[in-house]
Amino acid sequence: MVKQKPLEEGERGVIINISSITYQYGQTGNVPYSASKGGVASMTLPMTRDLSRFGIRVVTIAPGLFESLSAIINERMKQKLISQIEYPARFGKPDGEFNKLVVHLIENTYMNGEIVRINAGTRLGKL
């Protein structure tokens, strides 16, 4: 990326990392997963500081519960998880809501060094 010809305002691209809302809120029985997602989230600002001088932005998305998860869990667990979601009380849509956020982050050149949660107000905790 550093060797690319810069676009307007000197931008050479954007790195979008994927974390999870568990980086901040944790979830019972998911210590390793939460810790790994916390590591991804923690890289955001240092990477921003290291790469901004080259015109490279860094943004992290911390998604909540999406339909991809609902395909691998049973109905009881699905309902338990949905009860943790504020509004709309359903799993997110990867092909609509998540993808639109990615496009927005690519197009919005002022977004840099941020962790963006997309979770319908979900705060996973004790299940």
Active site residues: 33
Could you give phi then psi for residue 93, rounded to 5 degrees?
-105, 115
Helix, strand, coil share of the chain (percent; to 5): 45, 15, 40
Contact by Cβ (8 Å): 91, 66 = yes
CA distance 56 to 2: 8
CA distance 56 to 14: 5
